[in-house]
Structure 1
Amino acid sequence: MSDKVRPLRRPPIRQSTLVRSDREHTFEVFVRDIGVWWPTRSHSLGLERVATVTIERQLGGQVYETWADGSRADWGQVIVWDPPERFGMTWTSLPAVTEVELTFTALAPALTRVALEHRGWDRLTEAQVAAATSLGGGYEAGWRHILALFTASAEGGADR
């Protein structure tokens, strides 16, 4: 590789949503209730076999899905734990480990901005990125769908 050739930089996926709920409740719905609102039938390793999704609520905790037969498939590890402001995890469903981080910002007593960043795409080859983003709009569309379901769940149980 020539000294003048630089590797291609792949920007992170960044998305956000506004949730009509206070920050504490919004954070709790994401981490505590992820097994309720996450679309496991379409966005998981086990698909129809998934019984629930769990985030172990501590730095270094595991994030995983549990199947109906008791089997477990790991999604990653908690790398940022700062409730109710930030949550981050490694994402191990790709050929190389990436990271997903969410920030929860109170805009008003019952309005929270949730910003998601999925980064580390530069660790994947062009072919791996193409494969990961080729189906159904890729991770951009997937995160949009997931944030919409999360928002609906958080607002549905919000104390307003």
Structure 2
Amino acid sequence: MNRHVAVTLVRQSIVVEAPIARAFKVFTEEFGNFKPSEHNMLGVEIAETVFEPRVGGHIYDRGADGSECRWARVLAYDPPDRVLLSWDISPQWQIETDPEKTSEWEVRFIAETPNRTRVEIEHRELDRHGGGWEGVRDGVAGDQGWPLYLQRYADLLTHAG
């Protein structure tokens, strides 16, 4: 019997040369410095991306005209070990307002040595997005998804000093 099991999660990781507390701080406080500005659902240029560091907070883009696009909710905030966020973006790459149709992404920070940290992203429950969810999975797994974010994050840590 042939059985096809759909992969409903994406895992990516990177090792950075930084203590765990610094790795966590840069990821959360400087998220907008490594998020690609072309990843934009606003009708205008992004002026800044804000990561609100608390449960109940959001990640949102603020446009040059003051408009906002809240595309993630902070579900857990446990410095310096992990953050858990919703992915409130539909398969049509629009804001999803129904929390039952959102996936979640967890970022874990694991100290390998006092000055080296493994950063792991697990984006899961992608099938909750409904029809077309495979496009979300392929988007976040592809070269312009989590691999790009993690590489830009690592580059920022390296050059931040």
Query: For the superposition of Structure 1 and Structure 2, which TM-score range results when normalised by the shorter chain?
Result: 0.7 to 0.9
1:132 counterpart SS class: helix
1:124 corresponds, among 129, 150, 154, to 129
- What do the CA deviations read for 1:22-50 (whole angstroms, capped 9, x no partner)? 11111111110111121122x23238611
Structure 1, gaps ≥5 residues long: 1-7
Alignment of 1:26-65 (within 5 A): 26-41=23-38, 43-46=39-42, 49-65=45-61
Contact 2:75–2:84 (CA under 8 A) maintained in structure 1: yes
2:140 counterpart SS class: helix
- Structure 2 distance, partners of 1:15, 1:131, is 17
Contact 1:22–1:106 (CA under 8 A) maintained in structure 2: yes
For the aligned residue pairs, the C-alpha RMSD in angstroms reads 2.1
- Structure 1 distance, partners of 2:67, 2:33, is 18
1:74 aligns with 2:70: yes
Contact 1:58–1:78 (CA under 8 A) maintained in structure 2: yes
Q: Give 2:153's aligned residue.
A: 150
1:15 aligns with 2:49: no
1:101 aligns with 2:101: no
2:115 corresponds, among 110, 134, 151, to 110
Q: Give the aligned residue type for 1:62.
A: H
1:46 counterpart SS class: coil
Contact 1:85–1:105 (CA under 8 A) maintained in structure 2: yes
TM-score, normalised to structure 2's length? 0.83
Deviation of 1:73 after TM superposition, in Å, equals 0.2
Deviation of 1:56 after TM superposition, in Å, equals 0.8
- Structure 1 distance, partners of 2:148, 2:110, is 20
- How many residues of Structure 1 are paired with residues of Structure 2 in the alignment? 148
- Structure 2 distance, partners of 1:65, 1:45, is 9
Instruction: Answer with 1 or 2: which has the greater Rg.
Output: 1
Structure 2, gaps ≥5 residues long: 92-100
Deviation of 1:132 after TM superposition, in Å, equals 3.0
- Structure 2 distance, partners of 1:33, 1:143, is 16
- What do the CA deviations read for 1:58-81 (whole angstroms, capped 9, x no partner)? 111111110111000011210010
Contact 1:40–1:48 (CA under 8 A) maintained in structure 2: no
